[in-house]
Structure 1
Amino acid sequence: MMKKLHLLIALIFSVISLNAQNKLDQDREAIKSLAGFYKVTFNYAETFSPDDDYKYHERHRSSAKEIAILVEDSPKKIVIQHLLVMRGDSMIIKHWREDWTYEDQTILAYDKDNAWKKVALSANDVKGKWTQKVFQVDDSPRYQAIGSWVHVDGRHQWQSNTDSPLPRRESTERNDYNVLNRGNNLYLTANGWMFEQDNKKIVRADGKDKLIAMEKGLEEFVKTDAKSFAYAQNWWKQQEGFWKDARASWDAVFAENNYLKLNLKIDNKLLYEQFFALGDQSAKEKWSSEKNKEAIKKVIDAYLVKAT
């Protein structure tokens, strides 16, 4: 009798383990399917405000071609680099990067005013969950969010909620709020994927949050012909060594700092301008990894606000 009971228990645990592995494999395939060649449309509209006198801002609509390149694929970490392709195929802009990490117990949570704080999570907090870590065009942090992939009735979806800096489309135009609380809903479609957002625009001051407006966002990624991305792929081959070193340099900064704050400008230059110039120079002069990291560290140190 006891032998049968032990066999039954072993069988149950075996089934649970197999289901967990199948779920992890489904998660990984869903994440990797985000890579590819896309026509992207961006649509944002403010929807509600608690202030009757609030003046709603104009809707934002734009489109672009984008290639999303799988640059790392390990069992519990997947890295995808996005590149904007403009002027046909002749102008490339390094765009955002997304790192997906599984059951990651450390995140950088956005505070306000270009500052982030390291947060430790318990194993229960992250069990079965993926963190999407989104980085700026210069690989500095943007936001990090935790959620579970769900695979039901042929639908593959990941949801999360987190704080972030102002979106790039408003960061140079508005100063009436300083935190964007993002309700992220990412799901696969028949011809690509959709990044649906329910956002809250917040003023954070003196430990309190004040909502000024809500916003709906739809970013639709539709697969397109890869032929027009040849120049972009070649551009990345020339630049990828530099940006690999940039990722490693930033990782060292993240590891060393529990609180991270960056200056927006130094000598009237934005951080990404410095990085883009270094990337071009490195590719042209074929810098070594050591020289890349030395130049990158110098730039990061200049923008990093020292703790007082």
Structure 2
Amino acid sequence: MRRPLMISTILAAALAVAAPAFADTTPTVSTTQAPAGQFERDRQSILAQAGQWRVRFDMRENVSFREGYEPLEEKLSAGDEIVRVVYDDGNRISLQHILVMDDDMGNHFIIKHWRQDWVYEPETVLTYAGPNQWTLTPVPADERRGAWSQTVWQTDDSPRYGGVGHWSYEHDMAEWTSGATWRPLARRDAIRDVPYDRYLGSNRHALTPVGWVHIQDNMKMGPAQGDEGEPVAIVQEDVVNTYRKVDNYDPKPGDDYWAATKDYWAGVRAAWDERIVASGGLYLEEEANRGAVTGKPLMDWAEEVQAGTLTTEAAIARARDLIARATVAPTH
């Protein structure tokens, strides 16, 4: 029996990020479209990220911009991950990542990982606005023309970050690149005592002959010293996650999990959407180990649904109540 590489590391990575119902927080789509050939090529480039993959996670801090701060050693791990299409209605595509791992005893470890939602020519995008806060940000008409937004959601379908960019096919390469956007700390940093509290990062998704690659250029930012001011740069980090198409593991445990819980997660997405639409954004307390305080209960209820010890309807009711309570900003 094959042993997955660094299971504990991958489980931790899964909790670092992810992870809308069809119409709620999904931004309104413009009726103006790029030429049909370009639009469909973009769609197929996005859909090409679905499949069965071996993923290599490579994270490394490179250059320090604060005296006395030494960049961390590189962090490498790997795992098996399936990516399934949640929905595709033309202008909107949603892809769910699910880690599928096992050990020498034949035990399976399934983790609902992050989710990426793509919207063509979005009028708004949900962006991170600093600790515990996200906002629906308007996208100017000239910036959304021919563009796609990508919104990334954490494992419990709470928000992580969003950005807007264009697919390019220059130099015989299919590549989407976002502008720089704010992002909350990933678990690998949130659980440590670090001088930064957010990232300013850009995303690149590019197809390769064997799959695709997700590249992040993150500037880790900290509060200004002394008087209040703009966040300051601490250290630059590259994250390169490569997805190689493989067929040497059984994806069925991951697909079984998704088949059993997808209706529950649809209800969870709808609950998040309603809260985001109601306030034009979201307040949600962040937690170092889970990304959000809602992480553990929402994930646990999904496991109970799959086990048959909790009905989908009852789990959704619990989720809606939890999300409603967790997204009320404290008054001072």
Query: Could you say whether these structures have the same fold, taking a TM-score greater than 0.5 normalized by the shorter chain as the test?
Result: yes
Shift of 1:262: 1.1
- TM-score by length of structure 2 reads 0.81
Matched, 1:106 2:128: no
Matched, 1:177 2:200: no
Name the structure 2 match of 1:151.
169
Name the structure 1 match of 2:240.
218
Partners of 2:258 and 2:115 in 1: CA distance: 13
Structure 2, unaligned runs of 5 or more = 1-31
Contact 1:44–1:215 under 8 Å retained in 2: yes
Partners of 1:120 and 1:221 in 2: CA distance: 32
Matched, 1:121 2:139: yes
Matched, 1:95 2:113: yes
Higher helix share: 1
Query: Which sits farther off after the overlay, 297-306 or 133-142?
Result: 297-306
Structure 1, unaligned runs of 5 or more = 1-16
- Structure 1 letter corresponding to 2:128: Y
Aligned partner of 2:184 among 165, 168, 173? 165
Name the structure 1 match of 2:5.
none
**Cα gap change, 1:67 to 1:226, in 2 (>3 Å):** farther
Partners of 2:197 and 2:191 in 1: CA distance: 12
Structure 1 runs of 4+ aligned residues shifted over 3 Å read: 204-207
Name the structure 2 match of 1:209.
231
Query: Which sits farther off after the overlay, 232-241 or 296-305?
Result: 296-305
Contact 2:215–2:240 under 8 Å retained in 1: yes
Shift of 1:118: 1.9
Aligned partner of 2:62 among 47, 52, 59? 47
Shift of 1:60: 0.8
Partners of 1:19 and 1:188 in 2: CA distance: 21
Q: Deviations over 1:138-185 (max 9, x none)?
A: 000000010000123431000012110012222212442111111212
Contact 2:33–2:39 under 8 Å retained in 1: no
Matched, 1:59 2:74: yes
Name the structure 1 match of 2:327.
304
Contact 1:112–1:204 under 8 Å retained in 2: no
- Structure 2 letter corresponding to 1:182: G
Name the structure 2 match of 1:132.
150
Q: Deviations over 1:252-272 (max 9, x none)?
A: 11111124221236xx99421
Name the structure 1 match of 2:4.
none
Higher strand share: 1
**Cα gap change, 1:248 to 1:110, in 2 (>3 Å):** same
Aligned residues: 289
**Cα gap change, 1:19 to 1:261, in 2 (>3 Å):** closer
Q: Secondary structure at the match of 1:81?
A: strand
Query: Which sits farther off after the overlay, 17-26 or 223-232?
Result: 17-26
**Cα gap change, 1:66 to 1:18, in 2 (>3 Å):** closer
**Cα gap change, 1:127 to 1:307, in 2 (>3 Å):** farther
Contact 2:34–2:146 under 8 Å retained in 1: no
Q: Deviations over 1:205-252 (max 9, x none)?
A: 644110001112211111110751111111211111111111111111
Name the structure 2 match of 1:34.
49
Shift of 1:85: 1.2
Partners of 1:157 and 1:123 in 2: CA distance: 22
Contact 1:30–1:156 under 8 Å retained in 2: yes
Contact 2:293–2:326 under 8 Å retained in 1: no
Q: Deviations over 1:51-108 (max 9, x none)?
A: 2421221211111110101110111100000011122571101100000011111112
Name the structure 2 match of 1:241.
263
**Cα gap change, 1:306 to 1:270, in 2 (>3 Å):** closer
Q: Secondary structure at the match of 1:234?
A: helix
Contact 2:81–2:99 under 8 Å retained in 1: yes
Name the structure 1 match of 2:90.
75
Name the structure 2 match of 1:192.
211
Q: Secondary structure at the match of 2:64?
A: coil
Which of the pair has more CA radius of gyration? 1
Partners of 1:121 and 1:81 in 2: CA distance: 25
